[in-house]
Structure 1
Amino acid sequence: MPDVSVRRAGPADHPTLERLWLMFRHDMSEYSGVLPHLDGTFRRERLDSAIADADWAAYLVTSGRHPVGLAFVRGLSAPARVLNSFFVVRAARRAGVGLRAVREVVAAHPGRWEVAFQEENTGAVRFWRRVAADIAGEAWSEERRPVPGRPDVPPDTWISLDVPAPARPGRDVPGSVT
């Protein structure tokens, strides 16, 4: 597996996140049918929230010194966190980068998790089901939900799973004395 690092993005990472965001939105346009704005950009409300909203977290994924992906989490204070946006550049796909990135992001925020994807995106279908099984074994669920405000598009598929908090040495271990 390549040298992969996942870290919370800081202000110096914002230009890199903006560029990765454009690649992500370009990839998703195949399934959403959304064209870029006249200036070549795509809507960026989720990017702006991930950077500025205290209830969101933006992560940068790197391989060596190269940026290869992003992950945006919303609902940090909610009962369920949502992996709102997730992207790995094509050259880094199918090498374990995505699975490792998801593991690290969800481990940073234990608890209930949800992620949505489109059934037409067959690569995402395989990836997210493999991620759910890897993280939660058989203890995950899947359901289709309408896209809010978009009756013209097929429902999204949502995966839900629980990520336990890591055991603390000498604590949280059955039979240990605290």
Structure 2
Amino acid sequence: MTTPPDVTVRPVTSADRPTVERLWLLFRHDLSEFRGQLPNPDGTFRGDRLEAAFSGSEDWAAYLFSRGEHPVGFAFVRALTEPTRVLNSFFVVRGARRHGVGLHAVREVVSRHPGAWTVAFQDNNPRAVRFWRRVGETIAPGAWEEERRPVPNKPGLAPDVWVSFRCPSP
């Protein structure tokens, strides 16, 4: 699978916020299938991570993925000032999936912040399970780890699966 040549990954700007907010709704809608979450009364989903990504904090970074002129996804990174960075939110629109966009985007994002990384996903999301295991093996062949951790403050939920790997410096 090759990445289309017109896929770009770039840091978001304040002008990108409306676009990322719309993508955020699609992301949260996709995740609602696995956590049974319903939208707020106004049709939105929780937005604390979206707010943090646009807060200007040195601990957070947000990236927008585009294919030509079309926005196709985003990534929010947190813990940039910590020893292990967290790929906090990651999304590719359905029309761009299975074309190498996601793997290309992950590689671009983590290469901008070399070092230790971790990302959580849900075991009951088979596409995420395959994707994140492939990411671990692609970025750190034979040297990535997977573990299950309880979801903080949500004892009724199944544990999250965490994949951890190290992105070498260029």
Q: TM-score with structure 2 length normalisation?
A: 0.96
- Counterpart residue type for residue 133 of structure 2: R
What is the rounded CA distance, in whole Å, between the counterparts of 2:154 and 2:19 in structure 1? Answer: 30
5+ residue gaps, structure 2: none
Structure with the greater alpha carbon radius of gyration: 1
- Counterpart residue type for residue 159 of structure 1: V
What is the rounded CA distance, in whole Å, between the counterparts of 1:55 and 1:161 in structure 2? Answer: 19
State the Cα deviation string for residues 48-94 of structure 1 (Å, max 9, x = none): 00111321000000000000000000000001000000000000000
- Counterpart residue type for residue 35 of structure 2: S
C-alpha root-mean-square deviation of aligned residues, in Å?
A: 0.6
5+ residue gaps, structure 1: 167-178
SS across alignment from 1:147: coil
What is the rounded CA distance, in whole Å, between the counterparts of 2:129 and 2:47 in structure 1? Answer: 24
Per the alignment, residue 145 of structure 2 pairs with 141
SS across alignment from 1:83: strand
- Counterpart residue type for residue 154 of structure 1: A
Contact 2:137/2:144 (<8 A) preserved: yes
Deviation at 1:32, TM superposition (A): 1.1
- Counterpart residue type for residue 28 of structure 1: L
Which of 2, 22, 26 aligns to 1:23? It is: 26
- Counterpart residue type for residue 66 of structure 2: T
Per the alignment, residue 123 of structure 2 pairs with 119
* 1:47 correspondence with 2:50: yes
What is the rounded CA distance, in whole Å, between the counterparts of 1:129 and 1:43 in structure 2? Answer: 27
Contact 2:74/2:91 (<8 A) preserved: yes
Aligned-residue identity in percent: 64
Which stretch of structure 1 is more off in the superposition, 140-149 or 50-59? Answer: 50-59
* Structure 1 outlier segments of 4+, above 3 Å: none
Residues 54-133 of structure 1 mapped to structure 2, 5 A cutoff: 54-133=58-137
Aligned length: 166
Deviation at 1:152, TM superposition (A): 0.7
What is the rounded CA distance, in whole Å, between the counterparts of 2:18 and 2:157 in structure 1? Answer: 31
